[in-house]
C-alpha cells in the first residue's frame, strides 16, 4: 500500500466556501511530493486534511491501508513542519525535540535514556547538536527551521508533512535549506508531502509536483515533465520563471502545415495541430529570439529593456502595437541593444499551442515529435 492515498478528496468550509474538490493522489513509499499553486488554490487545506487538522468533507484518505478520515491527528503517524516553526519559546532546543516523545513515553515504550539518545542522534543528523541548550529566541531563522524539522524527525513518523516551511527565510537561506531538505530526504528515504506557492521550490524539491488551481488538481508529474508538457495554459504560465509568454492569435493553413498568426500581425512557426482558428501561442523566454526587420515574417518588436545577471540576462520586448510585453532569456553577451526594433523568431522547442478559452487545454508543442491531435 502506498503510504498516502487521497481519493476524490474535497473540502467545503462551514459557510459554504469550497476550498478543495475531487483530489486524487497517491504518494509512493519514500516519495517527495510537492503541492504547488497560487495563494488560495487549496493546497494548505489539502495538507491539513492529511494531517488531521481539518475535517474531510468528501472522499477518502488512507495512510497505509488504513482509512483515516475520522482518525485524530495524533493517531495518524504523521509529523508536520509549519511555516512559523511552532517551537515552544520557553523550552530549550533539547526539550523542544524531546517534548512530544516524553508526553507519549509510556505508549511508545521508551525510557528516558532512549529519548535522550534519539534527541542526540537527530540533532547530530541536522548539525544542531551544539544548540541543544539554547532557547528558540537565541537561534537564527535557519537554525529554528532545523529544530522544527528535528521535532518531526525524532518522532520517526510514517509520513512527513511540510506547510511552506521555508517561506519565512531570506532568499539565500531558502535556497540553502532547500538543498538540505533534498539531502535529508535522500538520506531518510521518507515519504514527504510538501506545500509551497513557489514553483521554483516545487520544481527543485519534488520527485513529483501537483499543480493546483481553484481547489482542483491541474497536473501531476515529475517537475521537468510538467515544465516540458504542461496540460493547459494555467500550468504553462505558472511553472517556469520568467513566466511563459502568451500571444493571442489564430492558427491558419500555411504551405507546409499550420502557421500561427498573432493578433498583432506577422506569422510564426506553429506546433503541429489539426486545430484552426483562435488559439494562444505560449513561448518560453528561452525559446524566442530575434532577426533583423528585413528578414523573417515574425511580428515586429522593440527591445524595451535589457537586464543582465552575470552569465544570463533578460530582454523585455514590446510588440509593434504596444499591446503586450514579452520576455526573452539568453546569454548575457548575446542580448540585443535597448531601443532596437527587430522581428520575433522562434528558436527552439519550448513553444506550445493552447485553446483560447477556459483553462486553455494544450493542443500541441513544437517538442512533440509528430504533434498530437486534440481530443
Residue ranges binding ligand ADP (CB under 6 A): 13, 17, 19, 37, 39-45
Long-range pairs, 311-316, Cβ under 8 A, ≥24: 314/242, 314/285
Q: Measured from the CB atom, is 1 or 17 closer to ligand ADP?
A: 17
Q: Which residue is nearest to ligand ADP (CB)?
A: 44
Q: Measured from the CB atom, is 163 or 250 closer to ligand ADP?
A: 163
Q: Measured from the CB atom, is 49 or 79 closer to ligand ADP?
A: 49
The nearest distance, CB 88 to ligand ADP, in angstroms, is 24
First to last CA, the chain: 34
Q: With beta carbons less than 8 A apart as the criterion, state whether 43 and 238 touch.
A: no
The nearest distance, CB 7 to ligand ADP, in angstroms, is 19
The nearest distance, CB 239 to ligand ADP, in angstroms, is 16
The span from the CA of 239 to the CA of 37, in Å, is 9
Q: Measured from the CB atom, is 8 or 321 closer to ligand ADP?
A: 8
The nearest distance, CB 49 to ligand ADP, in angstroms, is 9
Alpha helices in the chain (DSSP H): 43-51, 93-103, 105-108, 112-125, 141-153, 171-188, 199-205, 223-228, 233-238
Residue 274 CB contacts under 8 Å (≥ 6 apart), including other chains: 373, 374
Q: Measured from the CB atom, is 45 or 199 closer to ligand ADP?
A: 45
Q: Measured from the CB atom, is 7 or 83 closer to ligand ADP?
A: 83
Q: Measured from the CB atom, is 52 or 350 closer to ligand ADP?
A: 52
Q: With beta carbons less than 8 A apart as the criterion, state whether 152 and 87 touch.
A: no
DSSP code for 338? T
| Bridge partner residues of 105 (DSSP) | none
The nearest distance, CB 2 to ligand ADP, in angstroms, is 23
Q: Measured from the CB atom, is 43 or 94 closer to ligand ADP?
A: 43
24-40: buried (b, 16+ CB within 10 Å) or exposed (e) per residue? ebebeeebbbbbbbeee
Residue 322 CB contacts under 8 Å (≥ 6 apart), including other chains: none
The nearest distance, CB 165 to ligand ADP, in angstroms, is 13
The nearest distance, CB 256 to ligand ADP, in angstroms, is 45
The nearest distance, CB 80 to ligand ADP, in angstroms, is 14
Burial (CB < 10 A; 0-12, 13-18, 19+), residue 292, is exposed
Neighbour tally for 250: CB within 10 Å = 19
The span from the CA of 272 to the CA of 252, in Å, is 11
Amino acid at each position: 500500500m502506498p503510504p498516502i492515498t487521497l481519493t476524490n478528496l474535497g473540502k467545503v468550509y462551514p459557510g459554504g466556501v469550497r476550498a478543495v474538490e475531487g483530489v486524487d493522489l497517491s504518494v509512493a513509499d519514500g516519495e517527495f511530493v510537492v503541492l504547488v499553486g497560487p495563494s488560495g488554490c487549496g493546497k494548505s487545506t489539502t495538507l491539513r486534511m492529511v494531517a488531521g487538522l481539518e475535517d474531510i468533507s468528501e472522499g477518502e484518505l488512507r495512510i497505509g491501508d488504513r482509512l483515516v478520515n475520522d482518525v485524530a491527528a495524533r493517531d495518524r503517524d504523521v509529523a508536520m513542519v509549519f511555516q512559523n516553526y511552532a517551537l515552544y519559546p520557553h523550552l530549550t532546543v533539547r526539550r523542544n525535540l524531546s517534548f512530544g516523545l516524553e508526553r507519549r513515553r509510556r505508549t511508545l515504550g521508551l525510557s528516558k535514556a532512549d529519548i535522550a539518545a534519539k534527541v542526540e542522534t537527530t540533532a547530530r543528523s541536522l548539525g544542531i547538536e551544539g544548540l541543544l541548550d539554547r532557547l528558540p529566541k537565541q537561534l537564527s531563522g535557519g537554525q529554528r527551521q532545523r529544530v522544527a524539522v528535528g521535532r518531526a524527525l525524532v518522532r520517526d513518523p510514517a509520513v512527513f508533512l511540510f506547510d511552506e516551511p521555508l517561506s519565512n527565510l531570506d532568499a539565500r537561506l531558502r535556497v540553502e535549506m532547500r538543498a538540505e531538505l533534498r539531502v535529508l530526504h535522500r538520506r531518510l528515504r521518507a515519504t514527504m508531502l510538501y506545500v509551497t506557492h513557489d514553483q521554483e521550490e516545487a520544481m527543485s524539491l519534488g520527485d513529483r509536483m501537483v499543480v493546483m488551481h481553484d481547489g482542483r488538481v491541474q497536473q501531476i508529474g515529475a517537475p521537468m515533465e510538467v515544465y516540458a508538457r504542461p496540460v493547459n495554459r494555467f500550468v504553462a504560465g505558472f511553472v517556469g520563471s520568467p513566466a511563459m509568454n502568451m500571444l493571442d492569435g489564430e492558427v491558419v493553413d500555411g504551405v507546409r502545415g499550420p502557421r500561427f498568426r498573432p493578433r498583432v500581425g506577422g506569422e510564426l512557426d506553429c506546433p503541429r495541430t489539426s486545430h484552426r482558428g483562435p488559439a494562444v501561442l505560449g513561448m518560453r523566454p528561452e525559446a524566442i529570439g530575434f532577426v533583423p526587420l528585413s528578414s523573417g515574417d515574425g511580428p515586429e518588436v522593440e527591445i524595451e529593456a535589457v537586464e543582465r545577471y552575470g552569465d544570463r540576462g533578460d530582454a523585455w520586448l514590446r510588440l509593434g502595437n504596444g499591446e503586450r510585453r514579452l520576455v526573452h532569456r539568453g546569454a548575457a553577451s548575446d542580448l540585443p541593444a535597448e531601443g532596437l526594433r527587430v522581428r520575433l523568431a522562434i528558436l527552439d522547442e519550448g513553444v506550445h499551442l493552447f485553446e483560447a478559452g477556459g483553462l486553455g487545454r494544450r493542443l500541441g508543442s513544437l517538442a512533440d515529435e509528430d504533434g498530437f491531435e486534440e481530443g
